[in-house]
Amino acid sequence: MAEVRYKGRIALLAATILIVFTGIGVRLALLHLKPAAWVCEPIEEGRVLTWKPMGSRGRIVDRNGEILAMDLAAYHVCADPSYIDEHGDLATVCKYLAQEFRLSESELKRKLSDTSRQYIRLKKYVPGHQLKRFQRRFNGVVYTPRELVGGVETNIYLRGVMLEEAPVRNYPKGALMAHVVGFANREGVGGAGVEQRMDEFLRGKEGLRVSKKDGRRREIYSARTIDIEPEDGATVTLTLDQQLQYVVENTIEKMREEYNAKAAWAIVQNVRTGEILAMASSPTYDLNRYGKAPSEWRRNRAISFNFEPGSTMKAGVIAAALDHGIVKETDMIDCEKGYWFYGGKALRDSHGEGVISVADVIKVSSNIGTAKIALMMGNQLLYDSLKAFHFGERLGLGIPGEEAGIFYSPKTWSKISITRIGMGHEIGVTALQVLSTMNAIAYNGVQMKPMIIKKVTTSDGTVLQEFKPEELGRPLGPDAARRMRKLLARVTEEGGTGTKARVEGYSVGGKTGTAQKIRPLAEGGGYYSKNFISSFVGFLPVKNPEIGIIVVADDPGEYTESGRKIKYYGGTVCGPAFKEIAEFAVRYLRISPDVNRVYVARPDQ
């Protein structure tokens, strides 16, 4: 009986085991042949390969197509410690990477010994030309060591090492046009200048690739479901000219050093179109190392530095007085022998004059003469006339940093304000605004909107944006502008303040400016007695102007043993720099001299 009972128990146990394993087998068959969604989803998600390649950032070029900014191929050197541990050779990887990239071999071993990680970045932004000894392969690179083995080159397969594409922004011209071009950071975002202003066009468009990978993390090409190629950014063409810009930058740098100026800046502009042909600021900086430059060096002073212009403002004031019939060129003004007391304050001229004509007031740059002409105009007319030149407003250049200047309403003026504004005090301007005013006089009273971006095009040549010459307004009538040009031409003749700006073979119209710098309120307010902003602004040729140029120096000059400051006047400091720039510009731009003039139509109304 006991034997029968044992047989029954054995049979029951066997049946139970059979049922259990049959159930397991059925379940496994179901999971493999027809698995449930909750089983498949995590597996499929793990096999999905998604890649979002980014198009290269677009180029910035000058008006002749010279490349000023572009993306260069670069890579991050990365590694997969887990894969190296399983399939590679840690010692070999560390040895050759340390040699090639001057890294610590022991530090590499420490980092790559953490086999729980699958991604480590070992070296960032390595230029493509430094990776000529590496060839990318699946899950590794083929490296050719510098040393020969047996007299021949030997290739070594470094498994688990990857080269990750990471293009870097490169500026082939270094510091040339730095303040206009600007820079883009490591993330490919514009941080200044044209790089910032045109970021939406320059930035490449992201692509998308969706596929699957096998157990070795290789893509299964036949499983690719989405493949959208990235698009490179557009090309931005500037109005600037590389050759002219180079000369302007060198000239103001020499001027700054010769006259011990804190800073200097200059602009060259096409009178008829408003195109900026050169815009420079010194000190400057290398765009490829922008992070190491002091913030003041990165400032585009030509458009962002507000200053009291001094006597250059007299050109706009007297032009407006002529336009409104307040004075004529031949009217006589008593300049009080250089000392005039008005409104409880004294006004002086550096060179005392008696009774002289309006034409001579501008030639010798009389403060007193200009102040009296401003008084004849009255507060509101003077204000309206200068506002017509867009003082106190941004001119719409189209790059970051442009200041509007400071020009208050007559309601805030004191009794003597009108006499000071007429000679370029109690008003803040930018160099671009002063040049724009002078160019309006040069262009028959038409003020053109300044342009620095010419067009934006795709890689296939499609034009996305194109900028055309545009009028800002007509602050002067053509007759007054013509008459004023003649007066400004006398400034560079013998006896004028701008003789050092003369260009052989060409008539030059212009105006010098020397203004005391404002003393901050923290230092007591008022003006410094020995700190100046010096400038010269002009155009040529006078009869049919083609280019306008402004040169500005911040606090130039030398001190004598007695403490007297010399060599700081606008005509002395900036006049020669104007001449040097103009002499190159007329040759380079093929501007005809006065004796061989070809006339083109200008607006008459």
- Is 574 a member of any domain? yes
Q: 60-61 and 235-238 as β-strands: parallel, antiparallel, unpaired?
A: parallel
Q: What is the pLDDT of residue 370?
A: 96
Give me the domain span that covers residue 212.
49-74+167-234
In the predicted structure, residue 281 carries a pLDDT above the cut 90: yes
Q: Do 193 and 55 lie in a common domain?
A: yes
**Range name among 315-319, 488-492, 519-523 with the lowest pLDDT average:** 519-523
Q: Do 219 and 256 lie in a common domain?
A: no
Q: What is the pLDDT of residue 509?
A: 96
In the predicted structure, residue 1 carries a pLDDT above the cut 80: no
How many separate domains does the chain show? 2
Nearest partner of 510 among 533, 534, 490, 481, judged by Cα:
490
> What mean pLDDT is predicted for residues 302-315?
96
Q: Do 438 and 570 lie in a common domain?
A: yes
Which residue type, as a one-letter code, is found at position 44? E
**Range name among 129-143, 203-217, 424-438 with the lowest pLDDT average:** 203-217
The predicted-structure confidence for 222-249, as pLDDT tens digits, reads as follows: 666 676 777 888 999 999 999 999 999 9
In the predicted structure, residue 563 carries a pLDDT above the cut 90: no
238 φ/ψ angles, rounded to the nearest 5 degrees: -95, 165
- Is 204 a member of any domain? yes
Q: Do 197 and 286 lie in a common domain?
A: no
Alpha helices (runs of H) in 191-347, residue ranges in sequence order: 193-197, 199-202, 242-258, 301-304, 313-323
Q: Do 201 and 284 lie in a common domain?
A: no
Domain boundary among 234, 252, 267: 234
Q: What is the pLDDT of residue 603?
A: 54
Which residue type, as a one-letter code, is found at position 31? L
| DSSP structural state of residue 428 | B
- Is 274 a member of any domain? yes
Q: What is the pLDDT of residue 354?
A: 93
The predicted-structure confidence for 148-174, as pLDDT tens digits, reads as follows: 666 666 788 899 898 988 888 999 999
User: Which parts of 337-383 are beta strand (E)?
Assistant: 339-342, 345-348, 355-357
Q: Do 226 and 312 lie in a common domain?
A: no
Query: Which CATH number belongs to the domain containing residue 538 in this structure?
Result: 3.40.710.10
Which residue type, as a one-letter code, is found at position 98? A
In the predicted structure, residue 583 carries a pLDDT above the cut 80: yes
Give 13's pLDDT tier (boundaries 50, 70, 90).
confident
| DSSP structural state of residue 322 | H
Q: Do 382 and 333 lie in a common domain?
A: yes
Q: How many CB atoms lie within 10 A of CB 571?
A: 26
Identify the residue whose tokens are 């790559």. 112
Q: What is the pLDDT of residue 390?
A: 96
The predicted-structure confidence for 35-85, as pLDDT tens digits, reads as follows: 666 656 665 666 666 666 667 899 999 999 999 999 988 889 999 998 898
Q: Do 266 and 185 lie in a common domain?
A: no
> What mean pLDDT is predicted for residues 134-142?
85
CA distances from 211 to 42, 46, 139, 207 (A): 16, 11, 18, 14
Q: Do 214 and 334 lie in a common domain?
A: no
Q: Do 219 and 316 lie in a common domain?
A: no
Give 2's pLDDT tier (boundaries 50, 70, 90).
low
Give 605's pLDDT tier (boundaries 50, 70, 90).
very low
Q: What is the pLDDT of residue 219?
A: 59
Three-point CA angle 238, 180, 574, nearest 5°: 110
In the predicted structure, residue 190 carries a pLDDT above the cut 70: yes
Give 544's pLDDT tier (boundaries 50, 70, 90).
very high
Q: Do 495 and 416 lie in a common domain?
A: yes
Q: What is the pLDDT of residue 136?
A: 86
462 vs 474: CA distance, rounded Å: 34
Query: Which CATH number belongs to the domain containing residue 174 in this structure?
Result: 3.90.1310.10
Q: What is the pLDDT of residue 130?
A: 87
The predicted-structure confidence for 464-520, as pLDDT tens digits, reads as follows: 999 999 999 999 999 999 999 999 999 999 999 999 999 999 999 999 999 999 988
- Is 406 a member of any domain? yes
CA distances from 548 to 57, 157, 472, 541 (A): 34, 63, 17, 10
Q: What is the pLDDT of residue 226?
A: 72
356 vs 132: CA distance, rounded Å: 76
